[in-house]
A and B are shown apart, each in its own frame.
Chain A
């Protein structure tokens, strides 16, 4: 028997009011043939996790009494890195010691252990396996625990819809300093595309611009420049120099900011909206739709990959490769270690994580 803990909620609300730690037993001596037992290495706090708990996210886990709660409850968390500690007799894809991530969202990753069937997980190489394959690096816990949302979002938005010509074409994005934005900058560099990132003006602007350029950003502009007609000429000259077009815009902000990046698109360009952090609506001049034939679509990694396991696996492999080869830098998280029997219960740690999310991405390690 393994005594496990999971963070759950039975009612939607603010995390500090509704989260509880549920303790439950996993019978690891009597596994069904396709079952595995995993222990958690790390599970981060994402904005979508918080929105799920608040009940304002479009997808959410079902509430059940599976974990022995008195009321039907849902487990929290969507991303996480796990280590396989036990496998059923018929399990072929995993062996003890393998690292694994959930195959789908809504698994409930804020927990110490989980019992699952093997299809619920996808294997990623542990550091030893990477070394055996001659790779210079193994995945870190942060990389593994945060691989399935942001890097995949950035990669798929850049590759799945519009064919950008390496060396020539550009994409433009607002939220250039967000986690997805930084992955998009790096991945576009790895794929040979040109990037134009919009960031908020700030006192230490030069510092941030250099940081993004060090990651591989080609051009970084402020929101004021994004909104300025005069500055458009400068952007046109950059694009002209490479002989390409701005074919893709990535929007996670909305408002005038989305209008600004949509205006930079060439004829027949595409804007993908993947976030709505500001809760501002997207605003598009109708002339862009009608005369320039711009299309604006939504991007939600969960939905795209839901019925497309091959795409998920091939994308994951690419990201893992880049991590192993040291070509991609992960967005750093602020890590806090959970100690079973320690001072703080698991849900208390996650409530702190939610509160501290404004300071940076929070990762609880185990």
Chain B
């Protein structure tokens, strides 16, 4: 019996999501599955800022999908699926497995997905759970991007974190999902974090950041004040403290101050993509303190080495199973069979500015 499925798609770029995004309906017939195909039912798909950036255009163009013969781009890069049917030749997967796509630009915003296992890549999906109790749906749905980014960013640029409690990370957008994971993973290594947040954020927000493992939470105006690097910062990190990594997720006026906070040989890593943004910093500080600036892009890392992504997910799964990761909160948006998927997404995109939205499929 064939299944009626739908996807949120686009054929042209633009920021007017109401007009750019379309509903594309297609059918899948489990009885017609080819020997090398897998049918997935969607469990959850988050909306990430990078997904929206991709639709607006200006960076990596996903390759088109052919749904009922029509070439379209499907929105989304992150999603959790359940294997519901397997072609006769498919190895490596079992019906019931919870899986996430291995590569970016899978096009995750759809309620069913048909995946073809190619000869040159027999594992297009990463199994995150084959026992529904091991990992919660929330954890599995959002493991692919933010926790992976935080995990890799902490380990890629500094390989020799000291466990003596004197190594520090400073991060702007301290209230972002990535920053919340950074604080947690850093704490597991006894690395301290300073999370910088916008002025005026509530005590509740600050408390959540401390609960998640931030060592110190400060406002942007404290970071940009004249006495920050000469007085406030030394008081926070102590005499032996070293700020080895600064993470820039938003760019803007905090960046030169993040840079200035770095100790000798430190590195400023920019990972947030805001089109047209620049970073600025003092050239003299750069050579006198031997400071480096670099970029991080999970997509690029994954394309360069898909196995690296798989290894990262496996490391994260271990941490989750040991109960060492707290999930930052997000809003669950239910999608029921028969709902209009496009409408669900447009409403959730509209609400994204208030916090992370994850569509959960019943």
Most buried by A among B273, B283, B287, B292: B283
The answer on a CB contact under 8 Å between A284 and B279 is yes
Is A275 interfacial (CB 8 A cutoff)?
Answer: yes
List the B side residues contacting A289 at CB < 8 Å.
Answer: 270, 279, 293-295
Check A286/B282 contact, CB under 8 A, given A273-B287, A275-B287, A300-B290: no
Contact digits for B274-292, partner A, Cβ 8 Å, 1 yes 0 no: 1111111111101111111
In this complex, what residue of A is CB-closest to B264? A303
Contacts of A273 in B (CB 8 A): 283, 286-287
Q: When the two chains form their complex, are residues A281 and B281 in contact, meaning their CB atoms are under 8 A apart?
A: yes
DSSP class of A's interface residues: helix, strand, loop or mixed?
Answer: mixed
A315 contacts the other chain (CB 8 A):
no
* A280: nearest chain-B partner, CB-CB: B283
How many positions in chain B have a CB within 8 Å of any CB in the partner chain? 32
Question: Is A5 at the interface (CB under 8 A from chain B)?
Answer: no
**Complex contact B294–A296 (CB within 8 A):** yes
B26 contacts chain A at the CB level, 8 A cutoff: no
Interface hits, B300-342 → A, CB 8 Å: 300
Nearest A residue (CB) for B304: A293
The interface size bin for chain A is 20 to 34
B284 touching A276, Cβ below 8 Å: yes
CA distance A297 to B289 in the complex (A): 10
Whether a CB of chain A sits under 8 angstroms from the CB of B66 is no
Assess A293 versus B295: contact at CB under 8 Å? Given A258-B283, A286-B270, A286-B274. yes
Q: Smallest Cβ distance from B74 to chain A, in angstroms?
A: 22
Q: Say yes or no: is B171 at the interface (Cβ < 8 Å to chain A).
A: no
Q: Is A298 within 8 A of B292, CB to CB?
A: yes
Residues on B with beta carbons closer than 8 Å to the beta carbon of A274: 287
Q: Which residues of B contact A58 (CB under 8 A)?
A: 284, 288-289
User: With the chains together, A124 CA to B251 CA distance in Å?
Assistant: 49
Q: How far is the CB of B293 from chain A (nearest CB, A)?
A: 5
The 6 closest A-B pairs by CB, nearest first: A289-B295, A276-B283, A298-B287, A58-B288, A298-B286, A276-B284
17 further A-B contacts with Cβ under 8 Å, apart from A285-B277, A288-B295, are: A58-B289, A254-B283, A274-B287, A280-B283, A282-B286, A284-B293, A286-B248, A286-B295, A289-B295, A290-B300, A291-B297, A293-B300, A294-B294, A296-B286, A298-B288, A300-B287, A300-B290
- Which residues does A use to contact B, with CB under 8 Å? 58-59, 251, 254, 258-259, 273-276, 279-300, 303
